[in-house]
A and B are shown apart, each in its own frame.
Chain A
Amino acid sequence: MSVTPGVRPRTRRDPKKSPWRYVAIAVILFLALSLADVALTNPNFGWSVVGQYLFSAVILNGLLLTLELTALVMIIGSVLGVLLAIMRTSSNAFVARSAWAYVWFFRGTPLLIQVIFWFNIAALFPEIELAVPFGPTLVGFDANALITPWTAAVLALSLNEGAYMAEIVRGGLLGVDRGQYEAAQALGMRPNKVFQIIMPQAVRTIIPPTANQLVTTFKNTALVSVIGLADLLHSAQVVYALNYQTIPLLIVAAFWYLLLTSLLSYVQALLERKYSKGYAPRSRPQARTESVVAKSAVAKEV
């Protein structure tokens, strides 16, 4: 039978399916079922304990503190990061090198050490003073009173975050075409206005790694449990120190970490779409005019 080209309705093309895929599915299903079996039948998982503590006040308060800490660290870290990134691109070599040294130091030492260090800063400086170098003291504080677990955690995580954000922001700024700087300068924009033109373009490349960084920071806050700050992990630890239900309470903590990181990934996808404006072609360039025509047609009918 001959077929006239173009008249035949378009056929769907099925991709070739390998028989091995059924084997793979079978193996994975088997493993998943075994896991589920173990999780449900082994009483040591203590699911009733998990249910009992999942929404308990002590855990939710810990979660709240973890969220507050993450938000604060992210804000301070981002501001610090932008500042350091601008310093890295400075024509002043001393300023650029200082920023480099900062990033080098804070990325090169374990975050856990930084957390413990800041908590114990009183051992190094019993008195913290604001003073003119070699000159008079302006204000003085007792370090033990100033450095609570909370301030130590914020300090350690923010300073570390700043180093990572600096690299992310710098990558974004370097990714913007040289011609964009020139075009802004040629219009007579001063450096701060040029920055206002460049930054939104850099943000597009900055967002995906920043969102990853946010997820990492959110999980890294668990490190502050070592200095006794009542975050999500530490709250779980406090409970299992009393009732010895270690695994169920770790499951409770992991559940909240996983839920929040999933939410953050979703927000990341939304942000990426928002900042792709002007890069990806709009799905239907004529959509606006069409809908206007459609609306006016409807209006006439009414």
Chain B
Amino acid sequence: METPMIVLNGIQKWFDSVHVLKGVDYSVARGSVSCLIGPSGSGKSTLLRCINGLQPADEGEVWVDGDLIGLRIDGDHLIPLPEKEVADQRRQIGMVFQRFNLFPHMTALENVMSGPLRVNRAQKAQTRELAMGLLDRVGLAERGDHYPNELSGGQQQRVAIARALAMKPKVMLFDEPTSALDPELVNEVLSVMRDLAAEGMTMIVVTHEMGFAREVADHVCFMDGGVIVEEGHPDAVLANPQTARAREFLSKADEQ
């Protein structure tokens, strides 16, 4: 059997004395789309940040395409890697944020070029070509010389996706990518993500968009209180939840 792209083993995380993740085991197959759903404060975003080491797990292991993230094995010990090496590992893991986090002093095109230029020391001309192609792919070829504050939320988020893709990641993490958007702008972002899924990108999406999860996801995870309560095929988890907690959450989500 093919090894999964992402494997999480017993992930635990504390913020001071608050136990946010209480032992999460989870794996994501190559080329699959996995949606993390659940109430706010259930640990979904924190789990996502453990995967690329923005908030390293206190216990447990994160494996991405066979690499142990943020740690090195020395006999029986796991030793944290220096920040430089964790940074290098993050190249293969793209991330898209709820609040876009585009660099405000750079144009859309410069934002997309920023990764390859600063991380891979890529050639400027080649990178420009790559970035133009990516902006075209997210439908913003005409907006390359606009600054983020001259773009709508939906356009900013699509630039952010293009920026992450410029690093040619093996995995894309989405942290509530449409939660900060006006309702009429949600679809333009979801449609870009749908295309990405269709092209075979391995994706983990923290989302409140049940329609997207139902339609695009291969796997849905319901989290609550720092653990995975229920997971499986979207048809099973979303249409016929087995636990009372998931049933309650989903019935409320449907009302919206």
Partner of A182, one of B54, B91, B114, B147: B54
The answer, yes or no, to whether B87 is at the interface (CB within 8 Å) is yes
A285 touches B97 (CB 8 A): no
Min CB distance B179 to A, Å, is 14
Q: Which residues of B contact A237 (CB under 8 A)?
A: none
Could you tell me the distance between the alpha carbons of A185 and B52 in the complex, rounded to whole angstroms?
A: 9
Q: Which residues of B contact A179 (CB under 8 A)?
A: 97, 99, 101
A200 touches B105 (CB 8 A): yes
Number of interface residues, chain B, beta carbon within 8 A: 33
B147 touches A188 (CB 8 A): no
B125-162 CB mask vs A (1 if < 8 Å, else 0) is 00000000000000000000001111000000000100
Most buried by B among A183, A185, A189, A201: A183
B43-62 CB mask vs A (1 if < 8 Å, else 0) is 00000000010100000000
The answer, yes or no, to whether A278 is at the interface (CB within 8 Å) is yes
Partner of A191, one of B83, B101, B106, B163: B83
B149 touches A188 (CB 8 A): no
A189 touches B54 (CB 8 A): no
Q: Which residues of B contact A187 (CB under 8 A)?
A: 90-91, 114-115, 118-119, 163-164, 167
The answer, yes or no, to whether A273 is at the interface (CB within 8 Å) is no
Beyond A183-B102, A278-B106, A279-B104, is A188–B97 a contact (Cβ under 8 Å)?
no
The answer, yes or no, to whether B84 is at the interface (CB within 8 Å) is yes
The answer, yes or no, to whether B88 is at the interface (CB within 8 Å) is yes
Partner of B84, one of A184, A186, A190, A204: A190
Which residue of B is nearest A188, CB measured?
B91
The answer, yes or no, to whether B95 is at the interface (CB within 8 Å) is yes
Partner of A189, one of B87, B148, B149: B87
A183 touches B103 (CB 8 A): yes
The answer, yes or no, to whether A282 is at the interface (CB within 8 Å) is yes
Min CB distance A95 to B, Å, is 15
Q: Which residues of B contact A278 (CB under 8 A)?
A: 104-106, 147-149
A189 touches B118 (CB 8 A): yes
The answer, yes or no, to whether A296 is at the interface (CB within 8 Å) is no
Could you tell me the distance between the alpha carbons of A275 and B84 in the complex, rounded to whole angstroms?
A: 30
A188 touches B54 (CB 8 A): no
A193 touches B105 (CB 8 A): no
Min CB distance A157 to B, Å, is 32
Min CB distance A177 to B, Å, is 8
Q: Which residues of A contact B114 (CB under 8 A)?
A: 187, 197
The answer, yes or no, to whether B70 is at the interface (CB within 8 Å) is no
A130-181: which have CB < 8 Å to B? 177, 179-180
Could you tell me the distance between the alpha carbons of A278 and B88 in the complex, rounded to whole angstroms?
A: 29
Q: Which residues of A contact B97 (CB under 8 A)?
A: 179, 182-183, 186
Q: Which residues of B contact A197 (CB under 8 A)?
A: 103, 114, 118
A188 touches B105 (CB 8 A): no
Could you tell me the distance between the alpha carbons of A190 and B94 in the complex, rounded to whole angstroms?
A: 15
Which residue of A is nearest B94, CB measured?
A186
B87 touches A188 (CB 8 A): yes
A182-212: which have CB < 8 Å to B? 182-191, 193, 196-197, 200-201, 204
Min CB distance A14 to B, Å, is 35
Q: Which residues of B contact A15 (CB under 8 A)?
A: none
Beyond A180-B101, A197-B114, is A186–B95 a contact (Cβ under 8 Å)?
yes
Could you tell me the distance between the alpha carbons of A189 and B115 in the complex, rounded to whole angstroms?
A: 7
A188 touches B115 (CB 8 A): yes
A285 touches B119 (CB 8 A): no
Which residue of A is nearest B96, CB measured?
A186
Min CB distance B165 to A, Å, is 11
Q: Which residues of B contact A191 (CB under 8 A)?
A: 83-84, 87
**What are 9 inter-chain pairs, A to B, with CB distance below 8 A?**
A179-B101, A187-B90, A188-B89, A189-B87, A189-B118, A197-B114, A277-B105, A278-B105, A278-B106
B→A interface (CB under 8 Å): 52, 54, 83-84, 87-95, 97, 99, 101-106, 114-115, 118-119, 147-150, 160, 163-164, 167
